[in-house]
Amino acid sequence: MNIHIALLPGDGIGPEVVAQAVKCLQAVEETFHHQFTYSTGLIGAASIYKTGEALSQETIALCHKSDAVLFGSIGALEFDNNPDAKVRPENGLFELRKELGVFANIRPVAVFPTLLKKSPLKEAVLKGTDFVIYRELTGGIYCGDHQLSDDGTTATDIATYTESDISRVAHLAFKASRKRKKKLTLIDKSNVLETSRLWRRVVKKISESYPDVALECIFLHNAIMQMILNPSKFDVILAPNLFGDIISDQASVIGGSVGLLPSASIGDGIAMFEPIHGSYPQAAGKDIANPIATILSTAMLLQHFGLEEESRAVVSAVNKSLHKNIVTPDINPKSKHGTSAVGDFIASNIVDTDESLSMNYENIGLGKSTII
Ligand code: IPM
Ligand code: MN
């Protein structure tokens, strides 16, 4: 298959982790005989420094010419420390999500068996955890007006949701539940927010078309406690933009590191694949960032194009690196392996199961096997 991928490494550790993901995609190309082509664009602070804008027309055009986008991370300390900055790196990402119409951000959360013992949570609590968050990605408070009064003493952020914003992502979440444990949890603050009351009304109405899926609606403050006390109770979680952002970072504690969680942002057109973590500027250039979230995002990219076996090969190479302790210091503080070494290990372990089988046969035929 031919796939043209726009690479948007962004800021901080973004370029390093995207480079590892590309190594893995190249290994998939070679192993499974595909042709992936790449073009790289600027976004975020990297783009502001060169063009004055967080997202240029050039980058938008590059994405529209591609079949998929692989995004790294966004944000820089200089802007975090300056609330008065007129142009902010993060706006580049919000504009791009809008531009591509990727209204649903899918964030799977599962526990890697080899990391069960390393999680800050007890093994007994974690066992069986396997859920997926459907975060609404192009609406709500992220995308409303953000105002500061002229005298700088009053700030306003507007959250708006329409019925159709809610319904399109809700349908995707219900469909996903059907293929899983048939349970959907809507997270809201409908005791406080009008937008949340609309979410509840719309999602309850839609649930009538999915009678086989059990719908549960819970308040955000309750949900975040339950996610730590009893994470295996969740199957599919549906949440508005801001709540989805917050709960997915909390969910990353379950797996042991925010550096492990991938995501797919989908809509009606081109899909974008992005690790859930931020740009971790303190680690930039130090070869310590965990590339696994971005590598697993490429596994989601491959799955998006129906390349199931290829996607599984990436996931199993990641599992092997965790199993063999070829990991970055966020997983094992004593580890001597850097971002690039972990990327090399995973890329070199991407194998076609059919090929490995035929290699075994050849060994047997040549009398090399120690089994016979
Ligand atoms: C994410 C990130 C972004 C977001 C930041 C970097 C603006 O945290 O993708 O979850 O809040 O959406
Ligand atoms: Mn986030």
Helices (H), the chain: 14-32, 45-51, 57-64, 77-80, 89-100, 123-126, 163-178, 194-207, 220-229, 241-255, 292-304, 308-323, 339-348, 353-365
DSSP state of 348: H
Distances (CA, A) of 234 to 36, 133, 244, 253: 36, 10, 14, 15
Please report, in tens digits, the pLDDT of each residue of the chain (372 residues total): 999 999 999 999 999 999 999 999 999 999 999 999 999 999 999 999 999 999 999 999 999 999 999 999 999 999 999 999 999 999 999 999 999 999 999 999 999 988 888 888 999 999 999 999 999 999 999 999 999 999 999 999 999 999 999 999 999 999 999 999 999 999 999 999 999 999 999 999 999 999 999 999 999 999 999 999 999 999 999 999 999 999 999 999 898 889 999 999 999 899 999 999 999 999 999 999 999 999 999 999 999 999 999 999 999 999 999 999 999 999 999 999 999 999 999 999 998 877 655 444 344 333 333 333
pLDDT at 229: 95
Give the HSE-up count for residue 357: Cα atoms under 13 Å, Cβ half-sphere. Answer: 3
Residues with CB under 5 A from ligand 2 (ion): 245
What is the radius of gyration, based on Cα positions, of the chain?
Answer: 21
pLDDT at 357: 52
By most ligand atoms within 8 Å of CB, the mutation choice from 73, 90, 98 for ligand 1 is 90
Q: What is the dihedral of CA 26, 32, 291, 296, to 10 degrees?
A: 140
pLDDT at 119: 83
- Of ligand 1's atoms, which has the minimum distance to the CA of residue 74? 6
pLDDT at 370: 34
| Span from the CA of 364 to the centroid of ligand 1 (angstroms) | 52
* Residue bearing the CA closest to ligand 1, atom 12: 245
Pairing assessment for the beta strands 104-110 and 155-157 based on DSSP bridges: unpaired
pLDDT at 356: 59
Q: Please tell me if the domain spanning 1-102+266-360 has the same topology as the one spanning 120-254.
A: yes
The pTM for the full model equals 0.94
- Of ligand 1's atoms, which has the minimum distance to the CA of residue 73? 6
Q: Which residues contact ligand 1 via a Cβ below 6 A?
A: 74-75, 90, 93, 245, 276, 278
Under CATH, to which class is 1-102+266-360 assigned? Answer: alpha beta
Quick check: 231 and 255 in contact, CB under 8 A? no
Domain range list for the chain: 1-102+266-360, 120-254
CATH superfamily of 120-254: Isopropylmalate Dehydrogenase (3.40.718.10)
The partner residues of 237 in beta bridges, in order of sequence, read 133, 185
* Residue bearing the CA closest to ligand 1, atom 9: 276
